[in-house]
């Protein structure tokens, strides 16, 4: 039984809640991922020291403005966890980071070089309207120079924020956009109005105002490292699922052979 603000919650209620919120699979997947990480770290001799845990705990105290030990205890109590729980979580995160570095630190540069276009950013403007006919009429008036793209966005876009910004959507990379839009704007001529493109939001008219080549910053390196590590975890999980299924089939066949004999 778990107590929250003097109210009791059964563990089964938490499981039922996660299922109703469609979070159950996600949580189970994260637990399996942690097991995969722990096993892979043991196989490669990767460990986390008490000093490393302490240093990360100090960083977290600073980030959460926990100046005194008593502040930390109060904060942990509010989170309904103990010091041991907190340090165990820190250990798991540091272990995952070390394993990711071990597996992919030497592959990040190559991945960036081969996939740079994925990370290049472009300055995107767009107009979104609810009907295709409206989008085509706006495009016609823009092509005939009866109205500018920016004026049309200010008048007709369904999004209030974009109307105020005359269609400015911001800087984006291809990976941050829906596939339908990313496919169209990939290396689109600067200043050319594209569309209409249909998505769940409506019908889009798009214009790329300029490209911003990406740089290999520490932040970008970390993004790529996390991407490669997530892909590795997913492949490891799929491998274990397939292995488990094959083992089950083998055991089932063995039982059938026993019955036949």
When pLDDT is cut at 50, 70 and 90, the band that residue 260 belongs to is very low
> Which residues constitute the domain of residue 177?
121-212
Of 72 and 256, more confident: 72
Q: Is residue 221 part of a domain?
A: no
Q: Is residue 239 part of a domain?
A: no
Query: What digits encode the pLDDT tens for the residues 113-131?
Result: 888 877 888 899 999 999 9
Same domain, 69 and 44: yes
Same domain, 79 and 141: no
Q: Where residue 57 sits, what CATH number does that domain have?
A: 1.10.4030
Domain boundary among 212, 230, 255: 212
Measured at the alpha carbon of residue 44, what is the angle toward residues 42 and 49, in degrees to the nearest 5?
65
Query: What digits encode the pLDDT tens for the residues 15-43?
Result: 999 999 999 999 999 999 999 999 999 99
- The total domain count for the chain is 2
Same domain, 73 and 23: yes
What are the φ and ψ backbone dihedral angles of 120, each rounded to 5 degrees?
Answer: -60, 140
Q: Is residue 196 part of a domain?
A: yes
Q: Is residue 150 scored above 70 in pLDDT?
A: yes
Q: Is residue 109 part of a domain?
A: no
Q: Where residue 134 sits, what CATH number does that domain have?
A: 3.10.50.40
Same domain, 7 and 85: yes
Partners of 4 in the beta sheet?
Answer: 7
Are 192 and 184 within 8 A, CB to CB? no
Q: What is the predicted pLDDT for the residue at 120?
A: 81
């Amino acid at each position: 039984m778990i107590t929250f603000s003097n109210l009791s919650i059964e563990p089964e209620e938490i499981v039922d809640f996660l299922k109703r919120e469609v979070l159950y699979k996600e949580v189970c997947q994260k637990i399996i991922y942690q097991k995969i990480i722990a096993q892979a770290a043991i196989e490669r001799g990767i460990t986390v020291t008490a000093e490393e845990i302490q240093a990360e705990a100090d960083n977290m105290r600073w980030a959460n403005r926990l100046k005194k030990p008593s502040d930390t205890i109060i904060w942990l109590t509010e989170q309904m966890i103990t010091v041991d729980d907190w340090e165990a979580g820190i250990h798991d995160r540091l272990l995952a980071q070390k394993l990711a570095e071990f597996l992919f630190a030497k592959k990040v540069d190559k991945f960036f070089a081969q996939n740079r276009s994925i990370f290049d950013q472009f300055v995107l403007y767009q107009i979104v309207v609810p009907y295709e006919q409206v989008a085509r009429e706006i495009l016609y008036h823009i092509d005939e120079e009866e109205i500018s793209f920016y004026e049309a966005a200010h008048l007709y876009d369904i999004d209030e924020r974009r109307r105020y910004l005359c269609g400015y959507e911001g800087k984006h990379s291809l990976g941050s956009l829906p596939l339908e839009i990313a496919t169209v704007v990939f290396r689109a001529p600067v200043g050319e109005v594209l569309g209409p493109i249909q998505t769940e939001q409506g019908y889009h008219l798009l214009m790329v105002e300029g490209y911003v080549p990406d740089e290999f910053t520490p932040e970008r390196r970390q993004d790529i490292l996390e991407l490669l590590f997530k892909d590795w975890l997913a492949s490891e999980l799929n491998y274990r699922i397939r292995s488990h299924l094959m083992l089950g089939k083998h055991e089932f066949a063995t039982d059938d052979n026993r019955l036949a004999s």
